[in-house]
Amino acid sequence: MKIQLIYPDPNPRVGLSGRKVESAALQLLAALTPPTHDVSIVQEHLGDDIRFNDPGVDLVGITAMTIQARRAYQIADGYRAAGKTVVLGGIHPSVLPNEALLHADAVVVGEAEHVWSQVLSDVASGHLRGIYRGREYADLTQLPPLRRDLFPKRSSFSIGSVQAARGCPYDCSFCSATLFTGRKYRFRPVENVIAEIKTLGRRFLFFLDDNIFSNESYCRALFTELKKLNLIWIGQASLHLAAGNRDLLKLAVESGCIALFVGIESLTASNLRATGSLAKNKASTPEEIGASIGVLHDHGVVLMAGVIFGFDDDDPEVFDRTLKFLNHHRVGYGSFSALTPFPGTKLFEALHSQSRITSYDWSKYDGATAVFVPKLMTPEQLQVGTRRMGVNFYSTPKIFRRIWTNRHHPVIFLASSFAWRHSCRVENRVPLYTPSGLWTKNANESLVPAIEGPPDARLLLPADPGTVQKNLRAGSLIGVA
């Protein structure tokens, strides 16, 4: 069979973050495909074209996060109209498989490792069934090397991505990671990770792991080997694990770590407690968070602070308070999001059951748009405040004011700060989203937008939204449907 794997261009509003990173999921899916098939990869966000009538394509596999879902469905519909077989997979089809099945011949729920070959043989024999679920999580010691050869070399700026482990034990209420990859860390053998990195031919790496500081002995082994390669890398980590072990942090820096994305999420203890994020930060006051930031800076690591606005205890002053804090601590980069109730999360269940979600148009789930009614501010205040935060944080004088604290790789620091500055300014020029024009009053008697979405949006939710979640959470996925 001729198989085409597609990464849809998500909402172009999300400026920089989606533009350059290649899709590891599709490289892996290609690697899981038996060599008897021909595989190609199309990455719309990197400029590749979608050709519905391509005679060289029999089967199309499309991946989708929630923000990509609308575009993924358009592409799926286009290929099906041209007579091709379409399979959808990834996080969004996994949590809303019934919705995805309206646009595809089959949906893969969860990880593909245990079901992809079954899907392919069912396509070949003409017996494709609706929903496929892996029986268990993938054994990462068995992962094949990714099909990097399927990507043409693009701009020299593009970053090589690699995954060392999956899983996250923290299960924060707004996040899909634990739901999807499980509570338990699963590791790839260090030698496999290193062998893969050597094939990448890139000096600049991005670790896809949700927490690159997950386990001390594993990290020691990995960082020790990385040190020999003379690379620079960035990754994601929890504040507590990154700043709590100075020896390990030192080794990480020696191995090439130049910056870490750390989900600070909020400076308000009650928000951290309510969302479960206290467990990963182990710092509940701005002073404690500031002290951990100081440890990262002392080691020469640039912090990208992930901050989310719109939690139940966030009032309109939260933006100024946060900006002051980040400036005071000379935090290098900031990533600012409006709280977003991704389907499948505990947050989605709570806000959906409280009828506080204002839009089920998944293309607006971009972290820049308010798609629910916050408690202590209006959706408009949340959107405007989040956007302004980016513009204010990345003002030219502020970038220069923090250069000394983040001086270890000044060229990279300045280039990426100005790229973020540009991205935030572009975002700020997009007209503000106001749903449907229907307005209603919230608990504080302020006017807020009424629910917007396709008329049958609620019907598209699974009859029992908890079912998929429970199955995924328990790690006991039901078996091939």
Residues that bind ligand SF4 in the complex, under the rule CB under 6 A: 168, 170-172, 175, 177-178, 210, 238, 263, 280
Which one, 265 or 361, has the nearer CB to ligand SF4?
A: 265
Closest separation in Å from C-beta 40 to ligand SF4? 32
Which one, 95 or 297, has the nearer CB to ligand B12?
A: 95
Query: Among ligand B12, ligand SF4, none, what does residue 170 contact (CB within 5–8 Å per kind)?
Result: ligand SF4
Query: Among ligand B12, ligand SF4, none, what does residue 332 contact (CB within 5–8 Å per kind)?
Result: none
Query: Among ligand SF4, ligand B12, none, what does residue 172 contact (CB within 5–8 Å per kind)?
Result: ligand SF4
Nearest C-alpha neighbor of 111 from the set 68, 143, 149, 75 = 143
Binding site for ligand B12 (CB under 6 A): 10, 14, 17-18, 21, 23-25, 28-29, 61-63, 65-67, 87-92, 108, 111-113, 116, 138, 163, 175-177, 180-181, 208, 210, 337, 342, 366-367
Which one, 137 or 223, has the nearer CB to ligand B12?
A: 137
Which one, 177 or 377, has the nearer CB to ligand SF4?
A: 177
| Alpha-carbon 150 to chain mean position | 23
Closest separation in Å from C-beta 134 to ligand B12? 8
Query: Among ligand SF4, ligand B12, none, what does residue 263 contact (CB within 5–8 Å per kind)?
Result: ligand SF4
Closest separation in Å from C-beta 122 to ligand SF4? 33
Which one, 214 or 405, has the nearer CB to ligand B12?
A: 214
What's at 330, amino acid-wise?
R
Distance in angstroms (rounded) separating the CA atoms of residues 298 and 220: 20
- Positive or negative: CA dihedral 32, 202, 298, 409: negative
Q: Which contacts qualify for 434-438: CB closer than 8 Å, 24 or more apart?
A: 434/380, 435/358, 435/359
Which one, 4 or 94, has the nearer CB to ligand SF4?
A: 94
Closest separation in Å from C-beta 370 to ligand SF4? 20
- What residues contact residue 338 under an 8 Å CB cut-off, 6+ apart? 308, 309, 310, 367, 368, 369, 370, 371, 382, 383, 386
Which one, 30 or 286, has the nearer CB to ligand B12?
A: 30
- Each residue of 325-337: b (16+ CB within 10 Å) or e? bbeebbbbbbbbb
Distance in angstroms (rounded) separating the CA atoms of residues 301 and 297: 5
Whether 242 and 296 have beta carbons less than 8 Å apart is answered as yes
Query: Among ligand SF4, ligand B12, none, what does residue 28 contact (CB within 5–8 Å per kind)?
Result: ligand B12
Nearest C-alpha neighbor of 140 from the set 121, 176, 107, 113 = 113
Closest separation in Å from C-beta 411 to ligand SF4? 30
CA 453 vs CA 371, 450, 458: distances in Å: 10, 10, 9
The phi, psi pair for 86, rounded to 5°, reads -125, 135
